[in-house]
Chains A and B, each alone.
Chain A
Amino acid sequence: MATVGKESPSVMSAAGAAVSDVLAHVGEMAEFAARTLAWVVRRRPTPGTFLPICIDIGLRSIPVVAITGLFIGMVLAVQSYGQFHQMGMATRLGAIINMSIVRELGPVLAATMLAGRVGSAMAAELGTMRISEQIDALDCLGVNSVHHLVVPRFLACVLVIPLLAIFANFMGVMGGALVSIEVYHIEGYHYWHNTQGFITLWDVIAGLIKPMFFGAAIALISCQRGFNSKPGAEGVGRAATESFVYSFIAILALDFFLALFLNNLYETIWGTPGPRLL
């Protein structure tokens, strides 16, 4: 009892400190997001700052997104074929693979890859600029650092990540078809024909809306961590790691809430739930 009595206050205070820390982080993030969005509305970035970032995020991410998407599709085919074949529904494989990719796996995994490749790099770059006082130098030269550094990254992520998600979807669909048709010898006509009834325009639109939010979250989290980087190599390294971890959590949480929201929106507009597989 005495031990419990001794430990309880420290456990409580540690929990309190942790909650307070989380709330402080959320508050800082909200304030940073508000400042960024205010600048997005007030003034567009110059092409000189915006286009190079679009190229860096977009073109240079194509190989990694292509490989990720291709393997997701192929793995889905390998994992699903056994069960579908046993039930005599192997020709329906295209429906489950393509629906899974377009609705969930394509956007989520593409965003996760980009949180690692782009988000961490942005946090490290801005963190280095913070500790070498380059961000302070911008403010001293009459240039708002949020407008100059964060807004172009934010807009590039919001605009380019959906395009990369579409590309990931395409590669995933191709990967699934490759394994299903070429390896498991499912008739191509049935494979594609059965897919048609399950992938609707709504799925494609939802697959575009979600990555925009994922892109916004990656940009805001990564830039905020970079802007608040602590000094030294350890500080910048931690900023890069935190940007990926927080972005990953944000992507999964956003995916859940967006799925709920978009399903409700679909029902509200068309009065029926979305298409079902079986």
Chain B
Amino acid sequence: MASNPEPPAPTASRPALIALENVGMGFNGQQVLNEINLGIQAGQTLAVIGESGCGKTVLLKLVIGLLRPTAGRVTFDGKLLVDLPEREQTRQRLRFGFLFQGAALFDSLTVFDNVAFGPRAQGRRPEAEVRETVRQRLQEVGLSLEVAAKKPAELSGGMKKRVGLARALALNPEVMLYDEPTTGLDPIVSDVINELILQTRLKHSVTSIVVTHDMKTALKVADRVVMVYPLARLRPGEKQILFDGTPQELRQCQEPRVRQFVEGEAQSRLQEMRT
């Protein structure tokens, strides 16, 4: 049940679907990401792991063009998303689905209207077709139509995440971005979300980036794992991506900082924080 997906075929000759080249990002003079180089092939499921505050979510928002990098460039399918004309940018963004950390459901709308929001906004599909899409997507994530009439405030954390996933899938994206999909959920619901990520990949053949600090999620759903390390803790001359490899390689990695994260051991960290 919980097996890793097949690793993608060798892709050396194929250009990356998503490419980050020497990307840097900072806010109010504080640098978060520096010289990030990363290529993601079509069909790949990449897990981005790292401590809180190391810039994982920022990386995800750079990929979809919600943020403009302060250095370097981010391309999707060979295009610089942030520099595209608005109409074309919107068209390209619709090739993505984004599951936000807190699901980001629209408070004022019902579950049904949240999932129908994307298809309706495109305005080209008859309402009957939209209703059928919503029904299918809710069914895929294991939610009944009885839930459809509820408002987001009436849902549990796991249900919100599943509605968020249904909403993201309603536009049949080619790329799924997951921001901390299992954070704040109990182990069973977390595994339900993991299974849904795997199921989504199999059913819709999507490329996925999963930002997480949940090792179980990273090892279960990804065929490639990247570990981003906080800039402030890097040694001089070190790259911010401390690890890049398969889940199997991650399990065998002997780099102390990677092992520390994988095993969830604080070691001397508390002492460092106090000083």
Q: What residues of chain A have their CB less than 8 Å away from a CB belonging to chain B?
A: 128, 132-134, 136-137, 139-144
- Nearest B residue to A48 via CB reads B120
Please give 16 more A-B residue pairs, beta carbons under 8 A apart, in addition to A140-B97, A144-B90. Answer: A128-B107, A132-B107, A133-B101, A133-B104, A136-B66, A136-B100, A136-B104, A137-B98, A140-B66, A140-B96, A141-B171, A142-B93, A142-B118, A142-B171, A143-B117, A144-B86
Tell me whether A142 and B101 are in contact in the complex, defined as CB-CB below 8 angstroms, given that A134-B106, A136-B66, A137-B106 are known contacts: no
Is B64 in contact with chain A by the CB < 8 A criterion?
yes
Q: Given known contacts A140-B66, A140-B98, A142-B171, is B121 in contact with A134 (CB within 8 Å)?
A: no
B86 cross-chain contacts in A, Cβ below 8 A: 144
Question: Is the contact region of chain B dominated by helix, strand, or loop, or is it mixed?
Answer: mixed
* Cα distance A132–B100 in the bound complex, in angstroms: 9
Say yes or no: A134-B104 contact (C-beta < 8 A), given A140-B98, A141-B171, A142-B93.
yes
Q: How many positions in chain B have a CB within 8 Å of any CB in the partner chain?
A: 25
Asked whether, in the complex, the Cβ of A141 is within 8 Å of the Cβ of B118, the reply is yes
Counting chain B CB atoms within 10 Å of each CB, the highest count among A139, A140, A144 belongs to A140
Please, which residues of chain B bring their CB within 8 A of the CB of A144?
86, 90
CA distance A141 to B118 in the complex (A): 5
Given the contacts A132-B102, A133-B100, A133-B102, A140 and B107 also touching, CB distance less than 8 Å: no
Q: Which residue of B lies closest to A147 (CB)?
A: B86
CB closest chain-A residue, reference B114 = A137
Given A133-B100, A133-B101, A133-B104, A143 and B121 contact (CB-CB distance below 8 Å): yes
Quick one: closest A residue to B119, CB to CB?
A141
Across the interface, B104 reaches (CB within 8 A) one of A132, A142, A143, namely: A132
Interface centre among A128, A134, A137 (most CB of B within 10 A): A137
B160 nearest CB across to chain A (Å): 11
CB 8 Å contact bits of B88-124 with A (1 = contact, 0 = none): 0011011011101110111100000000011001100
Q: How far is the CA of A141 from the CA of B166 in the complex (A)?
A: 12
- Interface hits, B150-169 → A, CB 8 Å: 167-168
Chain A nearest Cβ from B30, distance in angstroms = 14
Contact A140 B102 (CB under 8 A): no
* Given known A-B contacts A134-B106, A134-B107, A136-B104, A141 and B117 have beta carbons under 8 A apart: yes
- Is the beta-carbon distance between B93 and A140 smaller than 8 angstroms? yes
In the bound complex, do residue A136 and residue B61 qualify as a contact, i.e. CB atoms below 8 Å apart?
yes
What are 9 A-B contacts defined by CB distance under 8 Å? A134-B104, A137-B98, A137-B105, A139-B66, A140-B168, A141-B171, A142-B93, A142-B121, A143-B121
Assembled-state Cα–Cα distance A136/B164 (Å): 13
Which residue of chain B has its CB nearest to the CB of A140?
B98
* CB-defined contacts of B106 to chain A, threshold 8 Å: 134, 137
4 pairs of A and B residues whose beta carbons are closest in the complex: A133-B104, A137-B104, A141-B118, A140-B98
User: Which of A128, A133, A142 has the most C-beta atoms of chain B within 10 angstroms of its own C-beta?
Assistant: A142
